[in-house]
Amino acid sequence: MKKIEAIIKPFKLEEVKEALADLGIEGMTVSEVKGFGRQKGHTEIYRGSEYTVDFLPKIKIEVVVTDSVLESALSAIVKSAKTGKIGDGKVFVSPVDEAIRIRTDETGDKAI
Amino acid sequence: MKKIEAIIKPFKLEEVKEALADLGIEGMTVSEVKGFGRQKGHTEIYRGSEYTVDFLPKIKIEVVVTDSVLESALSAIVKSAKTGKIGDGKVFVSPVDEAIRIRTDETGDKAI
Amino acid sequence: MKKIEAIIKPFKLEEVKEALADLGIEGMTVSEVKGFGRQKGHTEIYRGSEYTVDFLPKIKIEVVVTDSVLESALSAIVKSAKTGKIGDGKVFVSPVDEAIRIRTDETGDKAI
Amino acid sequence: MKKTTLIKSGIAALAIAASGLFTTNPAFAQEAVAVVTETVVATTTAVVEEAEEVSAIDKHWEGKTGDLAMFTVNNLWICIAAALVFVMHLGFSCVETGLTRSKNTTNILFKNVFIVCMGLLAYAAYGFNSMYPGDNWTIPGWLAIGSPIANGFGGADEVANLTAEYNAGYTYWGDFIFQAMFAATAATIISGAVAERIKLGPFMIAATVIVAFAYPITGSWEWGGGWLSEDFIDFAGSSLVHAFGGYAALAAVIVLGPRLGKYLPNGKVKPILGHSMPLAAIGVFLLFFGWFGFNGGSVLSANAPLVSLVFVTTAMAAAAGGITASFASWIMLKKPDLSMALNGILAGLVGITAGADSISPWASVVVGGIAGVLVVVSVIALDKIKIDDPVGAISVHGICGNWGTIAVGIFGAGSFVTQLIGTVAISAFAFVFALVTFLVVKAIFGLRVSPEEEEGGLDIGEHGQEAYPDFVPNK
Amino acid sequence: MKKTTLIKSGIAALAIAASGLFTTNPAFAQEAVAVVTETVVATTTAVVEEAEEVSAIDKHWEGKTGDLAMFTVNNLWICIAAALVFVMHLGFSCVETGLTRSKNTTNILFKNVFIVCMGLLAYAAYGFNSMYPGDNWTIPGWLAIGSPIANGFGGADEVANLTAEYNAGYTYWGDFIFQAMFAATAATIISGAVAERIKLGPFMIAATVIVAFAYPITGSWEWGGGWLSEDFIDFAGSSLVHAFGGYAALAAVIVLGPRLGKYLPNGKVKPILGHSMPLAAIGVFLLFFGWFGFNGGSVLSANAPLVSLVFVTTAMAAAAGGITASFASWIMLKKPDLSMALNGILAGLVGITAGADSISPWASVVVGGIAGVLVVVSVIALDKIKIDDPVGAISVHGICGNWGTIAVGIFGAGSFVTQLIGTVAISAFAFVFALVTFLVVKAIFGLRVSPEEEEGGLDIGEHGQEAYPDFVPNK
Amino acid sequence: MKKTTLIKSGIAALAIAASGLFTTNPAFAQEAVAVVTETVVATTTAVVEEAEEVSAIDKHWEGKTGDLAMFTVNNLWICIAAALVFVMHLGFSCVETGLTRSKNTTNILFKNVFIVCMGLLAYAAYGFNSMYPGDNWTIPGWLAIGSPIANGFGGADEVANLTAEYNAGYTYWGDFIFQAMFAATAATIISGAVAERIKLGPFMIAATVIVAFAYPITGSWEWGGGWLSEDFIDFAGSSLVHAFGGYAALAAVIVLGPRLGKYLPNGKVKPILGHSMPLAAIGVFLLFFGWFGFNGGSVLSANAPLVSLVFVTTAMAAAAGGITASFASWIMLKKPDLSMALNGILAGLVGITAGADSISPWASVVVGGIAGVLVVVSVIALDKIKIDDPVGAISVHGICGNWGTIAVGIFGAGSFVTQLIGTVAISAFAFVFALVTFLVVKAIFGLRVSPEEEEGGLDIGEHGQEAYPDFVPNK
Ligand SMILES: Nc1ncnc2c1ncn2[C@@H]1O[C@H](COP(=O)(O)OP(=O)(O)O)[C@@H](O)[C@H]1O
Ligand SMILES: Nc1ncnc2c1ncn2[C@@H]1O[C@H](COP(=O)(O)OP(=O)(O)O)[C@@H](O)[C@H]1O
Ligand SMILES: Nc1ncnc2c1ncn2[C@@H]1O[C@H](COP(=O)(O)OP(=O)(O)O)[C@@H](O)[C@H]1O
């Protein structure tokens, strides 16, 4: 079991979700985050003083998948989230030891 | 050390927190997320056009625990978060290598 | 590759970001969370009824780093986030298997 | 299925309210047009004739430019005051929305929009003529059956309705619009108290019944020349509008029960915080603003000494209520509670409403100041006895409405005993009528949303429409 | 580079609009002062002389205190009504902001602020005198070239402008301010329909051109004594203001295209939800409030029978529109849609505007009620043909403006055919003029922000200023 | 402990302000009632007698219906204008809330609620009679000690107070309520400038002292017949209200220091963004709306030529200020800054306030337009010298208040030198008085919240009440 965390551009959420759904991935969790990266923010002026908006709005998708679909999930995300422009975001994969479905107490791959 | 991530129904937060506190767990971090899962969203109409709200409001609880309390923490969460209805959410467990308490520089289990 | 998750006091974000930037760390993701810990909340009264605000506003910084900069990143965070007062927050380190830059498909350390 | 039945019932209720003169169901729009056409044509002809007959009105004023000017300024003030009272509905909407959770915001706004619209129509169709029956009492001094506003228009002699022959202070239309704006207020007060848990359809029906039938009854007792009109003094409605609304709200809350999770098994009260203090504050300021029309317009003319005195007593009582509630909450609750300060302003306003024209400015400070303390005590006390009123409507309008009425017997021109009798009678009637109405509606349709809907919020449950949907990825 | 050119053009346009009398470009402020000084000194002298000459006005009223009082109350009402119409601009701002996404909020507010300010100035500089040309028609009955307001002031005989010699209902200034507040409304209507995708600078130019030049033309046809002024009836502007704005908005939307992602390749419509229902509701209530000034002030005096009748018809139509739209959405869309109920109130208000003084109260309920259904149907229908109007401006102002005008031919004093001709002529002119204007502006400056900017929001793109920046760590 | 002392002091200050006539401390409510009763009974008797004596007023107007109508319309306008000025307090609340961070919202709203309430009471108790002393000067032309409003009521001859014998434009009460609404404005201006860091209790004390004692002093110089009343022209208070408030705010900000983190060690200015542009925009529109009462009411009658002229100049100056500030920020800061456009409208309004009745419309465009540029420059300049004013109050009210006053010496009927002397004297007095007040309050109670509280927000620190608590799980 692996957890995929994808930081993407907000307007790409719909596409990424569809791409994952197409793979039969039925669950994911989404949150609003602010990202700092190569896509440098922008300098703005408020009431005469300059400031830099370093952190740009991004969406974080978290999805836990079985090892078997990891690869296809990753490529689906990367493909659907790509615009080719700076700030497209990143995907991180990390190990998950266990998953439990609260409703049924199921664990392991069945719980995903 | 393990990190527990629990995605639960928002109104269950209070109960889950109490259940963890009863185990002597003194720290946790909570955030608002939107979840997509078996609990299919709902179809709504806005100004005449249909749309599906796929993502439902959920609460994510993150709590890092020592290996010794992992089991009891998991069952406390599952028990207190359960309603038996679809959309109850999931719990994921993943490894944590290190923890540091910023205030004191303590590390490891002492820092949790 | 490791993921550092730091839960800090909101007004420390700027300093922590600068400290990481000084190390050449170019990417991070930030979100608003609520924390529960030793820093007990506060008891307030609303329209005559007492209640406890258990969860205090915190900022979560997530940054994935190569193993080589892990130590320096950790100490930079701890140093810049510290006020010495209760509620300073915690830092957790966990393993990351893979990273992908969506824009370029680069993977591994190059993608961070 | 059930929903459709519900809607049909709502339409039926409205249709009855309109005495068959019009219908609001768009599905029947064509029929409606047909049904209405006859009446309309008749009244339209009347309008046209009026236009030609303008000379009759001119003749009426001939050589009396001073009187005409007085009549014109009087009537203008009644109209402007009506517009200010209208603003109070926006004030109520904001207060209610601000002091409740964001997941019920669309629902609260919808209810308020409905109440204003329905209130105006129902008052035209039935309330106005039954509240001011003239000699047409059904039970003399106690009850009159109204007739639609159209009667007053189509059939009437224009000079009699549109000049000082009708009233020195206003035309028939000025009279109607000012009173109609008041009418919906009672239901708006209920709306706040039952927020966050009541089913939309049943609320709409109950609110319609109360506004259309109950409000004009007590109204007629005092303002319509009924049994209270002799000695009882309720200038602008501390009892007739506010206590009426407050006690109807109390009945509704008793039938409905508290919000889930408000009163814990261990006997503790868990406050449910309002989601936007700016909205609550905007609402109170707008109510304060609108109250200048509510009280000032109740002079029923632009009479300079009285209108200006009423402006002063109204403002002073509001100010005093705001200050005493602030300090009361500061002392009793340790910290100055903005929501209490806001309730205090409203308490002062409700308190002075009965005696705004007969209480001296400094006495109005005392009346308002006491109201400000009363509201704080009352809000806390009601929570003790598990009466869950999210916005403090019962305390503000009910308790302070009683206080204000009685205060006229202490500081104003009224008799203590008469004032007491009047306010108790009005409050009791409102309570009983509302209790019966809500019990009946509950028996027929059910009154409360399911626990799931309550947890998820009525915005999704009743409307499928979040109030702040910006982070809702949807397709 | 380009931006600077743009700004310069904007300034140029404004400067022309002001006929060289003033300039708003701060860089030229000193020159401007110099340029203006002469005129100013002249007019100032006039003011001073007026002060001394007050006796002339006094003399005018000598022994006619009743007439003076009438004139005073009439003029006061026009002024207050102007202030109420001003509030409508706040109403529009709130509705537009509430029904769009938070990332475009600053931009929408800025556009509205600009429109009010520019509208007042442009109307003073050009519009007023070209809309009310008296005998100075360029093409008789069809077109007049205006002259700046200053003419009316500096050169005029004060008694003739500041007493009932000018008009029984108001002074020259009262006349101007009331009409000026109307003028900007047309552009505000457009602003809502083109929200979330139009470039700021080009919009400002197009809006200025339309308000300054197009609005007074159709206005002069009816209110200025032009070809429509004989039999056509448009009391307060269902056509001249609302349909005008609605059809100009339609042209703008056609030139501009829909928002990204609104109409999916599969033919489906993806709704883009408004971000704040409280803002939308506040806006509609304020519009309702302001409409008492819009319609009530259009009586052009404080005439008691008419003003009070207009208040009644206005309120009844709004209430009926709110109710029928609620039930229409409930039946057609399964759940009661707050945004439709709100649009319904506005529809009722627009609908009654043409006949508020000549339609009987119960007929006004029918007119408003039909408007409430019409707006729901129209909003849905426009989405079907991919006309993307985020706030429903075309339906509310265009369609219901037409309906309201025609309704005067059914329920009011007008002839059906004349009403139809009038509303079609005005709508068509507005549409064509706006179409040409937006096409020209598009050709010269471009009209639409880049897809990136649209995705990121115009607040950042055009203003570098988020509307709700609280979680923006910045240094 | 300390908090209790603080509250007691607050109460003491208020009690003094009220000259012992009433107290707002609910703990003492019973005593208060006792204390007040005597006065109240006396004045109540007066009210009753007045009611009986109405014939005296009737007699006064006998055979003068035209005059009565004029007096009635005049007085009505003063009352309505007072209500419009009241709306400005809501405007201020919204602007201040919108331009600051959400964690200080409850605190800002509470301060504004307090100021309005306290202002009305303090002005009644002391300010009114000391601002308009008639012949009762303590230091002739410079200082008068007031006496509570009750004097004016209980002891006075009603005919003299409630007819044109008092004033052709209003009754005693109309006079009072209009002036009282002005009074609190000064403190409201300060409130914005010191937002996000000042302790609540000390602010309340300082604000009370300034409103109760300082404002009437400068007010009496000009409007009360003092040393400035001969040649100096400040129609509605560019100096007496706005510059007064602006310079008092400047003193407060100097004593208080900037918000944490605003001025970085490296000399850079880090802007602290306001949390809600819609709130800021709503506030400015409401201020614009209320200003029609502020300036229009200052005609002190409904005089048709003057009221309508004032409406025009007010609107034109506001529009010009909005436009020039927009373009100034666009040119100087690269992008059009909404907060500057909003400040520009206010700047134009403040600028025209001194000469709204004596400056011609086109000159008012110049005055407003220059104010719009001035405010942009001033906001930037104040940040350069590290004067931290979150809402731009010092620039809008102070600088543009000065400009507006002087402008009367350029474009209006005034003399440049006299205007300069007047505005400098008033500003200097306000600055010094506020400086001393804030220094004394600081010495006794401390003025600034702890850095921890400032970081966490004053909502939690001072009130324990978040303004937007929806995602606060609480038990
Ligand atoms: N090392 C990292 N750890 C955590 N999040 C990161 C890291 N690097 C980038 N991110 C996230 O990814 C987003 C996109 O990164 P950026 O460098 O701007 O894009 P790109 O890689 O496409 O050029 C950032 O805004 C941030 O949220
Ligand atoms: N594979 C997954 N990865 C991440 N989050 C998931 C995953 N599956 C489910 N979730 C989260 O859990 C929530 C509940 O899942 P759902 O399938 O609706 O409930 P249940 O398992 O109780 O039927 C979802 O809304 C989503 O936030
Ligand atoms: N075991 C834990 N798991 C997850 N988050 C934690 C844990 N312990 C603490 N936290 C987070 O760290 C924050 C600071 O913890 P706290 O105990 O208050 O501070 P300190 O360690 O400085 O005394 C908490 O508010 C919470 O968000």
Q: What is the pLDDT of residues D203-217, one digit of tens each?
A: 999 999 999 999 999
Dihedral (Cα; D163, D166, D171, D173), 10-degree rounding: -140
Distance between CA E457 and CA C45 in Å, rounded? Answer: 39
What angle do helix axes E172-193 and E215-222 make, rounded to 10 degrees?
130
| B29 Cα nearest atom in ligand 3 | 27
Closest to F354 measured CA to CA, from F418, F302, F301, F305: F418
What atom in ligand 2 is closest to the CA of residue A63?
A: 3
Which listed ligand is nearest to B99 at the C-alpha? 3
Which of B11, B46, B54 is the closest to D465 by Cβ?
B46
pLDDT in tens, F279-307: 999 999 999 999 999 999 999 999 999 99
In this model, does residue F154 exceed pLDDT 60?
A: no
- pLDDT, mean of residues E167-188: 92
Q: What's the predicted TM-score (pTM) here?
A: 0.92
Residue E14 has pLDDT above 80, yes or no: no
Q: Which residues pair with A44 in a beta bridge?
A: A51
Query: Which chain D residues are closer than 8 Å to B45 by Cβ?
Result: 464
Q: How close does chain C come to D454, measured CA to CA in Å?
A: 21
Distance between CA atoms of A16 and A9, rounded to whole angstroms? 10
Residue E193 near residue E247 (C-beta atoms within 8 A) = no
Q: Which residue has the tokens 């709503």?
A: F282
Question: Which residues of chain A make contact with B33, given a CB cutoff of 8 A?
Answer: 29-31
CB atoms within 10 A of CB E106: 30
CB contact under 8 A, D270 and C47: no
The amino acid at D304: A
**ipTM associated with this complex:** 0.92
Closest CB from C30, C97, C99 relative to A90: C99
Q: A36 CA to middle of ligand 1, Å? A: 6
Average of pLDDT values for D18-27?
A: 35
Where are the extended beta strands (E) located within chain B?
2-8, 28-36, 42-46, 49-53, 56-65, 90-95, 98-101
List CB contacts of F205: < 8 A, sequence separation 6 or more. Answer: F9, F10, F13, F441, F445
Distance (angstroms) between ligand 3 centre and the Cα of C81 equals: 13
Asked whether F79 and D311 are in contact (CB, 8 A), the reply is yes
The pLDDT confidence band at residue C48, using thresholds 50, 70 and 90, is confident
pLDDT at F41 over 50: no
Sign of the alpha-carbon torsion through B75, B78, B82, B86: negative
**In chain D, positions 341-370, which contact chain E (CB-CB < 8 Å)?**
none
Smallest CA–CA separation between B30 and chain E, in Å?
A: 17
Whole-number CA gyration radius for chain E: 22
pLDDT for the residue numbered B54? 85
Q: Does A103 touch chain B (CB under 8 A)?
A: yes
Distance from CA of D380 to the nearest CA of C (A): 5
The shortest CB-CB distance from C47 to any of D268, D334, D340 is to D340
| Closest atom of ligand 2 to CA, residue A25 | 1
Of the partner residues B44, B48, B51, the one whose CB lies closest to the CB of residue E380: B48
CB C58 within 8 A of CB B102: no
Residue type, C95: P
Q: Which residue has the higher pLDDT, D67 or F160?
A: D67
Mean pLDDT of D437-461: 96
Categorize the per-residue pLDDT at A52 as very low, low, confident or very high, splitting at 50, 70 and 90.
Answer: confident
Q: Between residues F14 and E264, which one has the greater pLDDT? A: E264
Whether F474 has a pLDDT exceeding 70, the answer reads no
Nearest to C99 by CA among E125, D342, A74, F144: A74
**Eight-class DSSP state of F259:** P
Angle, vertex CA D161, rays to CA D158 and CA D165, nearest 5 = 110
E163: left (phi over 0), alpha (psi -120 to 50) or beta: beta
Bridge partner residues of C53 (DSSP): C42, F474
pLDDT band at F15 (very low <50, low <70, confident <90, very high): very low
What pLDDT sits at residue E434? 98
What DSSP element (H or E) covers D310? helix D304-333
Q: Is the Cβ pair B11, D455 closer than 8 Å? A: yes
Mean pLDDT of the D374-387 span: 97
Q: D386-404 burial string, b = 16+ CB within 10 Å, else e? A: ebbbbbbbbbbbbbbbbbb
pLDDT score, position E6: 40
Q: E160: nearest CA in chain F?
A: F305
pLDDT in tens, D415-428: 999 999 999 999 99
Q: Which of E417, E410, E426 is nearest to E371 (CA)?
A: E410
E350: nearest Cα among E326, E323, E328, E370: E370
- Put simply, the answer to whether D336 touches F462 (Cβ < 8 Å) is yes
> Closest ligand to A92 CA?
1
Q: Is the dihedral of CA E320, E325, E331, E337 positive or negative?
A: negative
The half-sphere exposure of D371 on its side-chain side, counting CA atoms within 13 A, is 42
Lowest mean pLDDT, pick from A57-71, E10-24, E279-293: E10-24
Torsion of the alpha carbons at B4, B8, B13 and B18, rounded to the nearest 10: -50
pLDDT in tens, E100-148: 999 999 999 999 999 999 999 999 999 998 999 888 899 999 999 877 7
Residues of D in contact with F113 (CB under 8 A): 281, 284, 322, 326, 338, 341-342, 345
Q: Which residues line the pocket of ligand 2, CB cutoff 6 A?
A: A 27-29, 62-64, 101-103, 112; B 7, 35-39, 56, 58, 86-90
B63 lines ligand 3 (CB under 6 A): yes
Tokens of D60: 């009426």
Backbone φ, ψ for residue F404 (5° rounding): -60, -40
pLDDT surpassing 70 at residue F96? yes
How is residue A8 annotated by DSSP? E
Q: What is the dihedral of CA C87, C92, C98, C102, to 10 degrees?
A: 0
Q: CB distance F465–C11 less than 8 Å? A: no
Residues 6 or more apart whose CB falls under 8 angstroms from that of F94 comprise D278, D282, F279, F280, F282, F283, F286
Assign D85 a pLDDT band (cuts: 50, 70, 90): very high
Rounded to a whole number of angstroms, the distance from the CA of B110 to the nearest CA of chain A is 22
Report CA(F185)–ligand 3 centroid distance (Å): 46
Centre of ligand 1 to C-alpha F269, Å, is 28
Work out the mean pLDDT of chain E and round it to a whole number.
88
Q: Read off the pLDDT of each residue in E311-326 and give the average, rounded to a whole number.
A: 98
Higher pLDDT, F251 or B38: F251
- Euclidean distance between CA atoms B27 and B61, whole angstroms: 10
What does the CA dihedral D242, D247, D250, D255 come to, rounded to 10 degrees?
-130
pLDDT in the model for residue D153: 52
pLDDT of C58-87, one tens digit each?
Answer: 999 999 999 999 999 999 999 999 999 999
Alpha-carbon gap: E341 to the closest alpha carbon of chain C (Å): 33
Which ligand 3 atom is the nearest neighbour of the CA of C7?
Answer: 12
% of chain E surpassing 70 pLDDT: 85
3-state per-residue secondary structure call for C20-66 = HHHCCCCCEEEEEEEEECCCCCEEEEECCEEEEECCEEEEEEEEEEC
- Give the pLDDT confidence score for residue E381 in this predicted structure: 97
Ligand 1 atom at minimum distance from A55 CA: 25
Question: How remote is the CA of residue B86 from the centroid of ligand 2, in Å?
Answer: 9
CB of A39 shorter than 6 A to ligand 1: yes
**Is residue E91 over pLDDT 60?**
yes
- pLDDT for F58: 85
Closest-CA residue of E relative to D163 is E305
